[in-house]
Amino acid sequence: MVSSTEAAAAAAARTLPPPPPIGNGNCAGVAAESENPQSDVERWKHRVDEYDSMADELELRVNEVLEYYATRKQPKTSKGSSGSKVREMDKFSGSNHSGGKLVEGCPKEVICSKRMQELMRQFGTILKQISQHKWAWPFMEPVDVKGLGLDDYHEVIKRPMDFSTIKNQMEEKDGSGYKNVREIYADVRLVFSNAMAYNDDRTDIHVMAKTLLEKFEEKWLQLLPKVVEEEARQKEDEAWDLAKMQIFQEASYEKMAKDTSSELDELNFHLEKLRELVIQKCRKMSTKEKRELSAGLSSLSPEDLNKALEIIAQNNPIFRATGEEVDLDMDAQSESTLWKLKLFVKGALELQAKNSASKADDTIKRKKEIYDAVAKTARKRNKKIHPM
């Protein structure tokens, strides 16, 4: 499965195709002067579809980055970029931070496993000593419930245990065996606690189990400090690995954000170029269309009007909008500027109309709420004046 970081890297390696070369065209349909106007339109549509697909992909990556930074916990670390943190981590990549050099080519997990295996081997020695005691024979094999006629055994003992079962579990090689020493310790205690729970404290089995449990606990206390030390080291290793993973993850998202930003800039650049090519090939705007455009400009909001004036200034460096009113000579503007304005005004007015409709709906709703409230108050007042 490809990770989001790998996908981002692959996408970043791809370059956006430039706008296609196009002949003479027409904004509403390509002008007749083009040799093959239909092919121009098809090329534009194809390229727009490509850019649209790229924009969708970039949007997904932007959302992924935003979600990561919105949900991640702020790390309690010193200031610095994730890149510097990664380099700092790399200094320790060849050594165990809790002490001791890692063996080259040997994963840390293997070394941790070997340390735990050594503790389990030492525990095996303790188990062997206990199992060789003269009173250990009743606990060597599973209790013969049927042979001894212990009909209620499984009602009292919910999890039977014996030394042979423990030994087999310790020797398992398929990953189903014990993972750490404390698991074996718990099962050995269970052997004796089961015997003490089922047999009366005056019986031989109870006394034998209690005696062996005491001897076992004495030997366990000698091994316990090493077990505690190893568990502490494993917790340190886990915390260290988690911190390192988080830092590398942060670095990958940081890179993804930078690459995506660059690609968005490139996509915007190509879209603007394509738009320029389309507008350059548009037919000349009629006098009627210019009058409609002028009327549309006068209907814009102040904010949108400023944006429209910026479009004019981009294509006409000597144009300056001064004062509250602007005297704009439509005939003095280039065709590309006029078509840019037409597209902008059309979109801005559609949005204004949509917002106005929404506000009108809100006003009607608010008036209805006020009317209902007044009517409700009047009904209550009438009830007080004319009680039943």
Distance from C-alpha of 40 to C-alpha of 45, rounded to nearest angstrom: 9
pLDDT score, position 112: 54
Element (H, E) at 369: helix 335-385
pLDDT score, position 36: 58
**Residue recorded with tokens 């916990």:** 73
Q: From residue 295, how far is each of 79, 225, 288, 298, 305 by CA, in Å?
A: 56, 88, 11, 5, 12
Walk along the chain (388 residues) in steps of 10 and give the mean pLDDT of each run.
47 51 44 53 75 81 80 55 50 45 44 78 93 95 94 94 94 84 94 96 95 96 92 85 83 82 82 74 81 86 85 75 66 81 86 79 71 71 62
Please, are residues 195 and 162 in contact by the beta-carbon 8 Å criterion? no
pLDDT score, position 385: 61
313 exposure class (CB count in 10 Å sphere: 0-12, 13-18, 19+): middle
Q: With the C-alpha atoms ordered 280, 284, 286, 290, is the resulting torsion angle positive or negative? A: positive
Please, are residues 194 and 161 in contact by the beta-carbon 8 Å criterion? yes
pLDDT score, position 149: 93
Give the length of the chain: 388
pLDDT score, position 384: 62
pLDDT score, position 365: 73
pLDDT score, position 9: 47
pLDDT score, position 16: 53
pLDDT score, position 325: 62
pLDDT score, position 58: 81
pTM for the structure as a whole: 0.45
For residue 95, list its beta bridge partners: 101
For residue 101, list its beta bridge partners: 95
Distance from C-alpha of 87 to C-alpha of 80, rounded to nearest angstrom: 11
Distance from C-alpha of 201 to C-alpha of 53, rounded to nearest angstrom: 79
